[in-house]
Structures are given as structure tokens and as C-alpha cells.
Homo-oligomer: A and B are copies of this chain.
């Protein structure tokens, strides 16, 4: 059996707590003989700033580069709010994404049957919801230059961010979206603001072209990003695969996430290009942040983190069955009533992070 090298980057806040639960599942997978892992741990974000003075040490990046996959908890917290822009905790995450070329961010928004009532939306609007947001992750306004603040003659300031997209960047993310759609319902919605942004014009053109040339059997719809945000609230089930740029993806995936009841539920995969040997760099992380307000209290929901491991099994190691097992255990634990605080319903008693991990293990 192949031994996969897994780098664990727990990060800050609730990151270490939810990572601990993933390690339990990793242990179980090994014992069950379903997969073999060699795990390493390292620092990222504020935890790395405290030790190295920057959020991602070069050794950590090298280790990430050498790993078969990376699991990341979360980064950031008020402790590091004062640090300079370029070495804040988030910069560590952004550098990992950029330097490893993780251009495709997959964010599934699934509404578990047992949680349909935890959504802010009416049950009938979210029951059975299953959207896959495909967010471009290494381009756009996140990395374009110039990105600077200059001081004007009168002492006041001028800040600039630059959104750049090239044909090649849009093509490769479009392929990811259409390929996923083929295995799903066969529908893609592409969101941009071509009525205001030139990057939106190019985005729409390139997606249209990739579709016409390679995926005629997939249904493609173009939607303006503002309207898309609205439609996600109005009638979310109209969407299957939703492809969009880095910034709109950031906002739209948080809206989609909230439809499912709690950010604490949602995993994500950030994938690089497939190389000649058929392997690709990949980082898996929950959509939620480091939630410093509840860190250390045992309140955090480990499901997004454990779901990220399931995505890792599926997308990095081709272990679809093991992934199904883990996801099935999550579904059953929820059906059996296991609830952390973020998803607790009326009359239910919340359990701790570790108890949720155990509840999932019991269902494995």
C-alpha cells in the first residue's frame, strides 16, 4: 500500500482543536488498513509568526512542496492584528496557495438532511442543496500588481489593488468546473461583472469559448456576480457548479456556506495542476476561520476539518471509497443527533469538539 505524506498545519485559534479530531480519523484509516499515512506537523499563520517572525517559514514551504497533501486548520487572530501587512497570519496562507500553484479552490456547499432546520433559509429552499463552488485561487485582485498605498503631496493617501486575469488562468479554472459538472448534474454557472470589469469581459469570453470547444453537453449559464449572490439566497438549488474569480469566490462561497447552516460544516480543497506523473499539489482546509472567540473552549465543530480529509482522500489519493466512508460517518453522526454549538437545535444538548470527533469515529 502506498504511504502518503501528509503535512498537518493546524495554525491558530480553533485550528489545532479541529486538527486533533482529524488525527483520530487518520489513525482509524491506518488501523483499518484503508490508507497509509506518514504525518508531519508544522506551523503556519500566527503560530509561525510567534516562532519565526513570519507566517510561513521557508522550511515549511519546502515541506509543503514535498508533501503529497496538506491539511490546514485556520490562521489569524487578534494577537497578530498589529503586525505589518505582508507578514500577517493570512499572508502565510496566501503564500502557500500562490507558491504551490493551488489555483482551483473547490468549496462544496451541502445541506445535510439533519441540519436543514439550522439554515437561516426556509427548509424547502435548502433541503437537498448540493452546490460546488469552484473559485480561482491564485489570480485576480489577491495577487495583481501594483498593490500599494502611496502618500500624496498633501499627506493624504492613495491605495491601489489590481485585478489581473489572463486567458490561460481562466481556461484552466473553467476546465476544472466543466470537468466536475460532467460528473455531477451537467450544469455550470459562471459569475463575473462583465458590465463593469474588463476582467469580467475576458472571463465571460474565455469560459464561453472553453465551453463551446470542449463541453457542449454541459449547460452553461452566465450570471452577474451581484445577481448571483442574490440568487444564492433566493433559490439556491438552481445552482450546481458555480465557477468564479478569487474575490467573488471569496464572498459567494461564504454566502453559500451560510445557507447550509454553519461554516463549521464546510470543507474545501485547493488544487494545483496535474503534472506529468499524474500528481498534483493540494491543500485541504475548512472554509471557516480561526474563530479566536471560541478557541480553546471545545466548542468548535470539527466536521469541516474532517470533511476536508475526506476531500483529500478523494481528490489527492483517489480513495473515493474511504472518502465515502468518512462522509457517511459524518452524515450518520448528525442523523444520530450529534451537535456542536454552532448547529445545535432547540431542545438539543451541544457536545464538544472531541465528542463530535468520537461520534464520527463511532460511525466509521
Contacts and interface: CB of A to CB of B under 8 A. Distances in A.
Given A161-B163, A168-B156, A230 B201 contact: no
A251 B233 contact: no
Contact of A201 (B76, B85, B250, B257): B85
Interface in A159-210: 159-168, 193, 195-199, 201-203
Interface stretch (A141-149, A333-341, A345-353): A141-149
A150 B132 CA distance: 32
A294 interface: no
The interface residues of chain A, by DSSP majority, are classed as: helix
Contacts of A168: 156
Contact of A152 (B141, B152, B166, B250): B166
A198 B148 contact: yes
Given A160-B162, A161-B199, A202-B149, A234 B258 contact: yes
Contact of A160 (B121, B158, B199): B199
Contacts of A250: 193, 196, 225-226
A273 interface: no
A164 B157 contact: no
A149 B230 contact: no
Copy number in the complex reads 2
Nearest to A159: B202
Contacts of A255: 229-230, 233, 255
Nearest to A196: B142
A323 interface: no
Nearest to A162: B162
Contact of A164 (B159, B227, B254): B159
B196 A141 contact: yes
A13 to B, nearest CB: 14
A90 interface: yes
A334 B253 CA distance: 34
A191 to B, nearest CB: 10
Contacts of A157: 166-167, 202
Nearest to A202: B159
B149 A163 contact: no
A259 interface: yes
Nearest to A160: B164
Contacts of A166: 152, 156-159
A198 B158 CA distance: 9
A90 B195 contact: yes
Interface in A98-156: 120-122, 125, 141-142, 144, 147-149, 152, 156
A94 interface: yes
A266 to B, nearest CB: 11
A263 interface: yes
A211 interface: no
A156 B167 contact: yes
Nearest to A169: B158
A88 interface: yes
Contacts of A196: 90, 94, 141-142, 247, 250
Given A157-B167, A161-B198, 5 more contacts: A90-B195, A90-B196, A233-B233, A233-B258, A234-B258
9 contacts: A142-B196, A147-B197, A152-B166, A158-B167, A159-B198, A162-B163, A163-B163, A229-B255, A233-B258
